[in-house]
Amino acid sequence: MGKLGGGVFRHVFGIEHFIRSLGIHCLPPGHVGPAPKHACGREHTLPADSPSNRVLATLAQGGPLPWPEQLERVELFARQELHAQGAGASHVYFPTSALVVLIQTLAGGAEAPVALVGNDGLVGVAAFMGTGLETNRAVVLQPGWAWRLPASAVHIGGPDGVPLVRAAVGHLLSLTSQISQTAFCQQHHNIEQRLARWLLTALDRLPGQEVAIDLPELAPLLGVTAEVLAPVAKRLGAQGALVCEPGRVVVPNCKLLRSFSCGCQAHAPGMGH
């Protein structure tokens, strides 16, 4: 985990230094203000359901979006790869009901999930940084919907690009916080705490109170086997903290589930549940 975290942090801090060199003040992690109350009524300002994506909602607070005609609503499917590590992304995605996992691949071919992106952020952040190449692989974990924008439509030069870069950097720093918390949690907390934290983190990026995932699919995201995870989930289920059904995990009471979680999730920026 040390090698993985170090590589990610070096990339993130390198980008932050680049942004600061342009004289742009970086927003704090998780800075994605509330959705504008009347955004849906503006013509060519905000797509109809984009307040459910916090980055688009924040950008819309500063005025019309620079590419209203190029945003299109698309359906994302489970296991769909949105971009590869070390390659340029053809599109930027702003999820509204889909959940995407970012995966880091090491030189030996080993993979590790490092962060989740849902309606809190965007996928394809390199387009906003001017770097071109993505540092991880993005795969759809929960199918759903997103707004898609051609990467070629993103222009960060001049004063009009400042809000775009600020929003992207705020999201990037939030990802950094999530990655470091995940690394710490994997090292120091038990499986019950990690399961509760992961579900709460996912739900903060999704509408509703459920995640479309099976336990065998969830287990490797926590670094354990399905055989190890099953009794832990059963124990939390007996306490009323979650309900495991085929193809989904339902959380009827987030407050109760949080009582089983570790402190990592409670201190994560932007936690809304």
Looking at the fold, whether 60 and 78 belong to one and the same domain comes out as yes
The Cα 263–Cα 260 span in angstroms is: 10
Q: How confident is the model at residue 263 (pLDDT cuts 50, 70, 90)?
A: low
pLDDT in tens, 74-117: 999 999 999 999 888 899 999 999 999 999 888 788 888 889 99
Among candidate residues 131, 159, 183, the one where a domain is terminated:
183
Looking at the fold, whether 51 and 163 belong to one and the same domain comes out as yes
Cβ atoms 182, 201 nearer than 8 A: no
Residue 24 pLDDT > 50: no
Among candidate residues 122, 153, 183, the one where a domain is terminated:
183
In this prediction, residue 47 carries a pLDDT of: 53
Lowest mean pLDDT among 77-91, 176-190, 211-225: 176-190
Is 59 in a helix, a strand, or coil?
A: helix
In this prediction, residue 234 carries a pLDDT of: 96
Looking at the fold, whether 167 and 204 belong to one and the same domain comes out as no
Cβ atoms 265, 258 nearer than 8 A: yes
Calculate mean pLDDT across residues 10-17: 41
The Cα 174–Cα 121 span in angstroms is: 9
Report the alpha-carbon angle 217-221-224, nearest 5: 90
Q: How many domains does the chain have?
A: 2
Looking at the fold, whether 156 and 175 belong to one and the same domain comes out as yes
Strand positions, DSSP E, 38-142: 72-76, 81-83, 91-95, 99-105, 111-117, 137-142
Cβ atoms 154, 164 nearer than 8 A: yes
Alpha helices in 96-240 (DSSP H): 126-129, 162-188, 191-203, 215-218, 226-238
Looking at the fold, whether 171 and 198 belong to one and the same domain comes out as no
Q: Are strands 248-250 and 137-142 parallel, antiparallel or unpaired?
A: unpaired
Report the alpha-carbon angle 168-177-211, nearest 5: 85
- Tokens encoding 33: 């203000």
Looking at the fold, whether 139 and 115 belong to one and the same domain comes out as yes
Total length of the chain = 273
pLDDT in tens, 164-174: 878 888 888 88
Cβ atoms 173, 27 nearer than 8 A: yes
Calculate mean pLDDT across residues 131-138: 85
Q: Which residue has the higher pLDDT, 136 or 100?
A: 100
272 occurs within a structural domain: no
Residue 152 pLDDT > 50: yes
The Cα 105–Cα 5 span in angstroms is: 12
Q: Which range of residues forms the domain containing residue 220?
A: 190-266
- Per mean pLDDT, which of 87-91, 124-128, 198-202 is the most reliable? 198-202
- Tokens encoding 34: 């509330």
- The DSSP bridge partners found for residue 243 are 250
Looking at the fold, whether 145 and 43 belong to one and the same domain comes out as yes
In this prediction, residue 160 carries a pLDDT of: 66
Calculate mean pLDDT across residues 240-261: 94
16 CB burial (10 A radius; 0-12, 13-18, 19+): middle
Looking at the fold, whether 214 and 87 belong to one and the same domain comes out as no
Looking at the fold, whether 144 and 76 belong to one and the same domain comes out as yes
CA 26 to chain centre: 18
Q: How confident is the model at residue 41 (pLDDT cuts 50, 70, 90)?
A: very low
Q: Are strands 144-150 and 72-76 parallel, antiparallel or unpaired?
A: antiparallel
Is 94 in a helix, a strand, or coil?
A: strand
In this prediction, residue 34 carries a pLDDT of: 37
State which amino acid sits at residue 54. Answer: R
